[in-house]
Structure 1
Amino acid sequence: MVMSAAGIAESAHRVGVQGGLALTSATGLVGHVLAKAPKGVKYGKTVAELADVVLPALTESVALLKPQDPAEADNFRATVLVALDAAAGVHQGTPSPTLVDMARKITEALDAA
């Protein structure tokens, strides 16, 4: 969702679709968790508001998973990175600098735990 919001207007939908497909293809515990949409979550109306919710949630998710199940923490991180690659791959050639920057922020959030 953050990658889609940060995408170029004409391809934001495709970025969201490709990233979403990657997330819905997740397996293991991560796949089961991602299949259940959270209720009552407010994501915000701007990329900044969305990032303020999503980036800390990614960090917290990895921090919670690591001590309980390191393999699932790795699975979660890998799943998110596959979604990033799928979203960035929508563009033929090089992804936009905006998408590259958002991917960096997401990766940093995953690694902050």
Structure 2
Amino acid sequence: MTVTIILTDQDKSTLRTAAYGAVSLLAAAGAPHKGSTQASIVLTSATGLVGHVLAAKSKDIHLQGKSVAELADQVLPALTAAMSLLGQQDPGEADNFRDTVLVAVEAAARSGKGEPSPAVAAMARKITAALDA
């Protein structure tokens, strides 16, 4: 049996904002530039429905704010919303999204020498919590 998932343009925008916003949050928290690049590659390398949505050329990601807090106010709820909308239609794709974002977070956080900074580690925990909310 094949599950057909129907995502509106707004749903797709939420997924992209959540995933790419997580990478932006880590960069704003101090993750190295190389890590952000690696994290973006993780997102564009995703498979399944999530991979198609994240790889699509789009201009619907509008992250605004002058502080990490303002960025987090947009991204963390988008992560929770993305998990909810995927979980309602296909729990497997929700897991795929979660795994993809967490691999991107790990790529961004671990790209420097040694352990991630305390700020980056704290942001990674907040992103994980938003995915699991």
- TM-score (normalizing by structure 1): 0.89
Length-normalised TM-score, structure 2: 0.76
The question of whether the paired residues in 2 share the 8 Å contact of 1:7 and 1:15 is answered with no
CA gap of 1:48–1:94, structure 2 versus 1, over 3 A, is same
> Which ranges of 4 or more aligned residues in structure 1 deviate by more than 3 Å?
none
Please tell me whether residue 80 in structure 1 is matched to residue 80 in structure 2: no
State the distance in 2 between where 1:59 and 1:38 align: 21
Question: CA, structure 1 residues 93+42, in 2 after alignment: closer, same or farther (shift >3 Å)?
Answer: closer
Distance 2:49 2:132 in 1: 20
Aligned partner of residue 76 in structure 1, secondary structure: helix
Q: Report how many aligned residue pairs link the two structures.
A: 109
List runs of 5+ in structure 1 lacking aligned partners.
none
Code of the residue aligned with 2:65 in structure 1: it is G
Bigger mean CA offset, 28-37 vs 52-61 = 28-37
What RMSD, in angstroms, separates the aligned Cα atoms of the two structures? Answer: 1.4
| Inter-partner Cα distance in structure 2 for 1:43 and 1:20 | 19
**C-alpha deviation, 1:3, in angstroms:** 0.5
Q: Which has the larger displacement, 41-50 or 73-82?
A: 41-50
Mean Cα deviation higher: 100-109 or 84-93: 84-93
Q: Of residues 1, 21, 26 in structure 2, which corresponds to 1:3?
A: 26
The aligned counterpart of 2:117 is 96
Q: CA deviation at 1:67?
A: 1.6
Q: Deviations over 1:81-104 (max 9, x none)?
A: 000110011112211101100000
1:21 Cα deviation from its structure 2 partner:
1.1
SS at match of 1:54: helix
Structure 1 counterpart of 2:39, which letter? G
CA contact (8 A) 1:2 1:102 kept: yes
Identical residues among aligned pairs (%): 60
